[in-house]
Amino acid sequence: MSEIITADNDRKATQAEADKKQNELNTLSKSIGELFKSGKTDEANEARAKTSDLKEEIRVLNSKLSETESGIQKLLVQVPNLPHPSVPEGKGEDDNMVEREGGEIPKLENALPHWELATKYDLIDFELGTKLTGAGFPVYKGWGAKLQRALINFFLDEATNAGYNEVLPPLLVNEESGFGTGQLPDKEGQMYHVTEDNLYLIPTAEVPVTNIFRDVVLDEKELPVKKCAYSACFRREAGSWGAHVRGLNRLHQFDKVEIVQVAHPDNSYDVLEQMVAHAQSLVEKLELPWRILRLCGGDLSFTSALTFDFEVYSAAQERWLEVSSVSNFETYQANRLKLRFRKAGEKKPQLAHTLNGSALALPRIVAAILENNQTSEGIRVPKVLVPFMGTEMIK
């Protein structure tokens, strides 16, 4: 931190000096022009000789300046967001705080894990995905495919009913967008990179949707802006394969509905609450046992000030699965995005707050539904999905 401040002071001093020299040069150049015009060629040539020294000095100062600036930039980019005061201390996921929970964990006998159910009812073909692409790219089939569609439609309908404006964004983004939401340079290796065109496959719709507001100055009365989007998400998940990643637990490609808000700094934490409540209503409507975690400092992402994770209980695996992450980034992304709003009558715009959350990510929801709702007759479809599925039972 102090390193940055020192560097910044250095920058200021250098710039002041460079500006002064530049001013001298500019003045001199102007006078040369006038001298030539009035025919005083000798004086003009004399003045011209002086400029070369000045130019050299300016060149040195400027190169020093840009060096200092890029040094500062390098340091700044490495500074993570400041956690909100309510963030519990802790190193990793074991230190996360359970905020609240609900739903009922079903008692099952001889329960099958979802990957076996997927095969039994021919819903998901993992091997076929491996053949076509590789591990982590499942092929959904029949009722399995329709269940994906049902969930996407259900989630989008719920979001639009809650006032979110739906967008369908591009699945590839450029470098600026990756930087804007903070994936670059921090998570460079987690995104698929199309080097030929220097584009990145989005790891979440958060990236394109939040970048809608890059270099935008909003009117105060437009806040909050609420957007929702369905997208496929692509994650390399480099280095994170091992135990616990069978079936749908961790994929390279998955579907997700994302909600994004641009909020006024004065009430962004109310907005966060509201987004958490929205995600909660979804897991409740799907009749899944759920809990909400308040992430501790050590588990908090680079960009977030406060994050709540949602987990649902998957009864055959007998473990909690993360299905949503709802965060307030405060001005962290807005600063990179240059996303600001202007108060009525004020000249200078100020940074807005950005928030986003999954509402929800599909694969683990599917895993939980399959496992928790398995019966001897088949898999019971949650009531809210029946209109989308056109059946009450997957057989």
- Residues forming contacts to RNA in the complex (CB under 7 A) are 12, 15-16, 18-20, 22-23, 25-30, 32-33, 36, 48, 51-52, 55, 347-349
- CA distances to 2, 7, 70, 73, 334 from 66, rounded to whole Å, are 20, 12, 6, 10, 24
Q: What angle do CA 19, 20, 26 make, to 5 degrees?
A: 85
Nearer to RNA, 33 or 387 (CB): 33
Q: Which is nearer to RNA, 29 or 73 (CB)?
A: 29
Q: Which is nearer to RNA, 12 or 246 (CB)?
A: 12
Alpha-carbon distance 152 to 150, whole Å?
Answer: 6
What's the rounded Cα separation, in Å, for the pair 302 and 83?
10
Nearer to RNA, 107 or 347 (CB): 347
E strand segments, 264-390? 290-294, 306-314, 319-330, 340-342, 350-351, 353-361, 379-380
| Closest CB 295 distance from RNA, rounded Å | 32
Are residues 329 and 355 in contact, defined by beta-carbon separation less than 8 angstroms? yes
Cβ proximity to RNA: between 15 and 130 the closer is 15
Strand pairing partners for 256?
231, 361
Residue 318 is classified by DSSP as T
> Bridge-partner residues for 229, per DSSP?
167, 258
Give me the least distance between CB of 176 and RNA, in Å please: 10
Please report how close the Cβ of residue 4 comes to RNA at its closest, in angstroms.
13
CB of 217 to RNA, least distance (A): 9
Q: How far apart are CA 324 and CA 357, in angstroms?
A: 7
Q: How far is the CB of 56 from RNA (least distance, A)?
A: 11
Residue number, 20 or 149, with CB nearest to RNA: 20
Tell me the closest approach of the beta carbon of residue 258 to RNA, in angstroms.
24
| Buried residues in 254-284 as b, exposed as e (16+ CB within 10 A) | bbbbbbbbbbbeeebbebbebbbebbbebbe
